[in-house]
Structure 1
Amino acid sequence: MTAQRLQLTWYNKDKALISSETGKYSYLWVDPSDPRYCETHTLVYDNFVRGQQLPKSAEFEYSKRADQEPQDDNLLILGESGDVLEALTRVPELAEKYVGKVKLIYIDPPFNTSQAFADYEDNLEHSVWLTMMRDRLSYMRKLLSSDGSIWVHLDDVEVHRMRVLLDEIFGAGNFICDVIWEKRTTRENRSVMSVSTDFILVYAKKSSCWAKVRNLLPRDNLSGYSNPDRDPRGPWTSVPFTAQFNPAENERRSQRYTLTTPGGAHLKPPPGSVWRFTESRYNELKADNRIWFGADGKAGPRLKKFASEVQEGLVPHTLWSASEVGTTDTSKREIQALFPGLAAFSTPKPERLLERIIHIGSNPGDIVLDAFAGSGTTAAVAQKMGRRWVTCELVKDTFERFTKARLEKVVDDKDQGGVSRKRGSRIAADGVELPEGISAEDAAKFTNVLNKLTAGDSEAKKDPRIKALKSASKTEYAKEVVNWRGGGGFQVAHLSPACFDYDPELDRVLLTPEATGQTLVESVAANLGFTLLRADEDYVFDARRGNALLKVVEGVATVELVDSLLPNVHPGETIVLAATAVMDGVRQYLRNIVKGSRVIALPDDMFQYCKGDDL
């Protein structure tokens, strides 16, 4: 008997969803074999947007990120996310590039909160929402690289159901963590409980692989480090030289000894403790000046930890505060700065939030995917961080007014907000030399406290000693640091129209009015898994799959047509002839003359579906 996995069950889980209205989250339940669900759409490529990296200026400092080569292998798509993801996984030219190649996926899908936002409908019924997300997540798993990860951003309406759904698709063993983001710091007094957090579920394609490649968070400062003994190895902090032990088990006897400090004090471990190291190891550390006994040499020992020797970064934790990554108000201000006069997008995310996610889960040059582009934050930050990206947006108005327009500003260096720049670090003012062990941040805090203490005392403000203290602790900010100078570019595309439809009254599959010319050729090739041959070369056939050659005919397949194709077929190759009409005897004729070949009548042989088959 095989073990049963825990699964989430919902209404119509065995059904599929198709869009009932273009550009809206509006769906119909259909059978999974319905051609309206099964048809793979291709991409129609529009214009390519290109920017130029600006030169450096003496006015600013520049980070290493500002020197990265801007990426131009990026893709912005107008279209429904399910159809876009299917295209990326099934159209051969796209699948070769993206399947198993995406390093990081971040999605901020409709939260299903029963609220109708101005930018998209967010009121999907639970079963519709779950089916919609299941199908998209299945495609996303195929796109992820073996060491990739997916970050799913939600509030508390669907997060519990999504956790089980992700377990089902990615495997419970590939769950990494649930990040809690403090999205607001204000209190909503009209609520029973004021909600201040969102959730980001993190899963890996293979947790064992991802654990080896995830990045640490950078150390922004060395607060807590100082150098009171002027150690040539630089700033350090200290940790206790003691460790706990269990007296009843009489353990760690070699770490229970009396040591003598440089000041002459004789010390034993405190009750219930032992020294961190054996006596011989203690003597080695002491000789190497790695034990601190206080300024007078009589204090209890503490082990020195040098900033130069600690781990290069910080292990990410799961509680992300507003001060670290911003809030929803932060993101709205970012959008308003980019589009003054326009109503801010309803649910943007701050750039610092995406900066942290993209930093942890990817490296420059990696591919980042977001299937719910919205205001385009993910792609904007990915571009600024030297990643390649793919993103799509369903609503045309949002696509034109926000997503595309924002990304154009990014590559043109007209987006200098968000993570493009950051304020310079606080430093001692010109001519000021801070005492050893006192950082510029410490001095600024001291000055702030001093100002508050003397705020109501005019005499104290005039006191020469107060003035001297303020002068000695004066700080300023260094030059603004630039992280992004523009440049790179992206391909704009949209989904091809449907070529196959189902008529319930006739109970049969039909070709749509758009199923003509190159649109029909590309659709047939994509749905049969054929790679298009280059249009700039004089090919008789339209596409190839291994040794099979595809010819699509908007008309009648005849014996004469087959004969005209034969001179272009090499030994070992076969023909797939797809036509909107087929003369009697042509199928057998082609099979006899080129073994393994076949004729496909469009649309009947392409999608052999009628509702009566399900009864």
Structure 2
Amino acid sequence: MPTLDWMTRGEDVRAAAAVPYRLLEAMPDLDGGDGDAANMLIQGDNLDALKALLPYYKGAVKCIYIDPPYNTRSAFEHYDDNLEHSQWLAMIYPRLVLLRDLLAEDGSIWVSIDDNEGHYLKVVMDEVFGRRNFLAEIIWQKRTSRENRAAIGLAHDAILAYGKMPAVEWKAVRNKLPPNLNGFSNPDADPRGPWRSIPFSAQGYRPNQMYVIDGPNGERHEPPRGRCWGATEEVFRRYEAENRVYFPRDGAGRPRIKQFAGEEAGLVPMSLWLAEDVGTNEESKREILRLFEDETPFGTPKPERLMQRILHIASNPGDLVLDSFLGSGTTAAVAHKMGRQWIGIEMGDHAVSHCKPRLDKVIAGEQGGVSEAVGWNGGGGYRFYRLGAPVFEADGHIADDIRFSTLAAHIWFSETGTPFTAAADSPVLGTHDGMTYALLYNGILGDRSVSGGNVLTTALLDRLRAESGWDGPMTVYGEWCKLGAARLAEADVTFKQTPYDVRAR
């Protein structure tokens, strides 16, 4: 597969692995609503924040939406958007790698972009997510007014969508759009209500669907050239008995079938999203102005209707949604209203000055945007976090003030590649693929002495076995081990010494 090359590509491709793990420090004074732990508003650099989330959320995010800086060579108030191509690619590549690792197997990522970097981004995303996993390039009509100063007025942005699985498989898990009720009427006062007619023909040749239909005016109808009727004659006669057959042009046209409102299962999403259906930049600016009367915090916020469509297609209530370029907070606001769990990351001061107030208003039941359409009346909450110190010192050793739960999550993730979901209240972390993992770290055994709490002894091994209920292979992390190599081999235990055997990356 072709790859894109740029000045610093080698180090940028490896950059995600080199990002240090950092703590996420809770800021309870900035929590909103009921402080629901499932929803997280994180202030800090999104590259560090994404790496910090990996031990807990790898493979757990159903839908990712990001709206990164477009590299338009114009300065936004809150972003340095004036980057050369290589700098822009250096910025986006490692973030896409970490986002891929956070994405669920049936998840998808949607990236807004314009034509300054859109074609480069497509090649990079083909590489990171796999070309077979490309879902679509969505064309969003972002403006309807004419741009007279431009050589050719730009009326759209693109949204590149990729799955964690190939498109042919992902279509089985995506949601269709609600039926379009345009065109429904009831000219014959059918007691079943409004209806519209749909064609009664199918592509191809099927012998049992090739028959003559007599119209009400005596005209005889055969299937259109190269097609057959949409069902067997037996089924057609049943449609007749149910008063579902309609002949247009006073009986002269070919038969069609009545489809009543509510019978259509849904519409397959198309790649062209018109302003009348999902809104424009101007609509999103009006939404922001209603929330913050005297200012527009971003030049190109996205309308809530646009986000509603993405989340409807790509997620279900209760699923986890992530936006690592949260901006004005639209993704988190709409996800909250639609009953999704969410994580939003913003690095600037406006994480507090704009994102938090907007989400607080959502929790209070604000009725802007899609609130009425989704029946939103308020509720829920979120927890606020800031990026803290690195888990490891510059020499790779564990930082002195790291808590058991933090180190446990890191060790579990580095050993299993899966997120740590246990309570972190026991030295036994869990069992994965036939291996039980345990961590002896200050305080977890209720013994404040370093030697007493972190040293593997025969008695402590028996305790770990009893607590885990596992007599198979076991990996134990601790400061020291009093069991010899032969005893460890006999007990089927691998001992790893902290801090030296704890991988910093």
Give the TM-score range, shorter chain.
0.7 to 0.9
Which residue of the other structure, out of 411, 417, 442, is the alignment partner of 2:368? 417
- Supply the distance in 1 between the matched residues of 2:209 and 2:39 (Cα, whole angstroms): 61
Match of 1:364 in 2: 317
Aligned counterparts, 1:336-485, within 5 A: 336-395=289-348, 397-413=349-365, 415-422=366-373, 483-485=375-377
- Listed one character per residue, the Cα deviations across residues 299-344 of structure 1 (whole Å, up to 9, x for unaligned) are 3343122224742322211111111111111111111110112343
Match of 1:42 in 2: 23
Aligned counterparts, 1:480-491, within 5 A: 483-491=375-383
Distance 1:75 1:280, change over 3 A: closer
Q: Is the 8 A contact 1:156 1:198 kept in 2?
A: yes
Shift of 1:99: 1.9
The runs of 5 or more residues in structure 1 that have no matched partner are: 18-29, 53-69, 423-481, 503-508, 554-559, 579-586, 610-615
For 1:495, what is the secondary structure of its paired residue? strand
Q: Is the 8 A contact 1:524 1:552 kept in 2?
A: no
Shift of 1:71: 7.0
Q: Is the 8 A contact 1:544 1:550 kept in 2?
A: no
Distance 1:189 1:532, change over 3 A: closer
- Listed one character per residue, the Cα deviations across residues 515-538 of structure 1 (whole Å, up to 9, x for unaligned) are 54347x777656544779978x7x
Match of 2:253 in 1: 300
- Listed one character per residue, the Cα deviations across residues 468-510 of structure 1 (whole Å, up to 9, x for unaligned) are xxxxxxxxxxxxxx721110000111111236565xxxxxx48
Shift of 1:287: 4.4
Aligned counterparts, 1:30-109, within 5 A: 37-47=18-28, 49-51=31-33, 73-90=38-55, 94=56, 98-109=57-68
Shift of 1:378: 0.2
Which residue of the other structure, out of 229, 244, 256, is the alignment partner of 1:290? 244
Match of 1:237 in 2: 196
Shift of 1:375: 0.8
Identity %: 40
For 1:121, what is the secondary structure of its paired residue? coil
- Supply the distance in 2 between the matched residues of 1:134 and 1:78 (Cα, whole angstroms): 21
Distance 1:408 1:594, change over 3 A: farther
- Supply the distance in 1 between the matched residues of 2:149 and 2:39 (Cα, whole angstroms): 44
Partner amino acid, structure 1, of 2:51 = E
- Supply the distance in 1 between the matched residues of 2:485 and 2:237 (Cα, whole angstroms): 91
Aligned counterparts, 1:544-559, within 5 A: 546-551=436-441
Match of 1:202 in 2: 161
Match of 2:88 in 1: 129
Which residue of the other structure, out of 126, 135, 158, is the alignment partner of 2:117? 158
1:214 and 2:196 matched: no
Match of 1:494 in 2: 386
- Supply the distance in 2 between the matched residues of 1:260 and 1:42 (Cα, whole angstroms): 75
Distance 1:299 1:158, change over 3 A: same
Q: Is the 8 A contact 2:323 2:345 kept in 1?
A: yes
Match of 2:11 in 1: 15
Partner amino acid, structure 2, of 1:51 = G
Q: Is the 8 A contact 1:115 1:123 kept in 2?
A: yes
Match of 1:58 in 2: none
Shift of 1:144: 1.7
Larger radius of gyration: 1
1:569 and 2:453 matched: no
1:311 and 2:264 matched: yes
Q: Is the 8 A contact 1:239 1:302 kept in 2?
A: no
Distance 1:599 1:184, change over 3 A: same
Which residue of the other structure, out of 137, 144, 148, is the alignment partner of 2:103? 144
Q: Is the 8 A contact 1:50 1:487 kept in 2?
A: no
Match of 1:61 in 2: none
- Supply the distance in 1 between the matched residues of 2:58 and 2:254 (Cα, whole angstroms): 56
Q: CA RMSD for the aligned pairs?
A: 3.9
- Listed one character per residue, the Cα deviations across residues 54-89 of structure 1 (whole Å, up to 9, x for unaligned) are xxxxxxxxxxxxxxxx97621111111111111111
Distance 1:275 1:16, change over 3 A: closer
- Supply the distance in 2 between the matched residues of 1:261 and 1:574 (Cα, whole angstroms): 78
Distance 1:577 1:191, change over 3 A: same
Shift of 1:561: 4.9
Q: Is the 8 A contact 2:177 2:266 kept in 1?
A: yes
- Supply the distance in 1 between the matched residues of 2:504 and 2:211 (Cα, whole angstroms): 81
Distance 1:38 1:151, change over 3 A: closer
Q: Is the 8 A contact 1:40 1:523 kept in 2?
A: no
Shift of 1:366: 0.7
Q: Is the 8 A contact 1:106 1:370 kept in 2?
A: yes
Match of 1:183 in 2: 142
Shift of 1:173: 1.1
- Supply the distance in 1 between the matched residues of 2:101 and 2:22 (Cα, whole angstroms): 17
Distance 1:196 1:594, change over 3 A: farther
For 1:122, what is the secondary structure of its paired residue? coil
TM-score normalised by the chain length of structure 1 = 0.67
Q: Is the 8 A contact 1:532 1:542 kept in 2?
A: no
Partner amino acid, structure 2, of 1:15 = E
Partner amino acid, structure 1, of 2:379 = G
- Supply the distance in 2 between the matched residues of 1:608 and 1:44 (Cα, whole angstroms): 19
- Supply the distance in 2 between the matched residues of 1:120 and 1:271 (Cα, whole angstroms): 58
Q: Is the 8 A contact 1:256 1:274 kept in 2?
A: no
Q: When the two structures are aligned, how many residues end up with a matched partner?
A: 470
The runs of 5 or more residues in structure 2 that have no matched partner are: 414-419, 444-448, 466-473, 489-493
Partner amino acid, structure 1, of 2:451 = V
Distance 1:12 1:182, change over 3 A: same
Q: Is the 8 A contact 2:71 2:82 kept in 1?
A: yes
Q: Is the 8 A contact 2:287 2:303 kept in 1?
A: yes
For 2:54, what is the secondary structure of its paired residue? helix
- Supply the distance in 2 between the matched residues of 1:243 and 1:219 (Cα, whole angstroms): 21
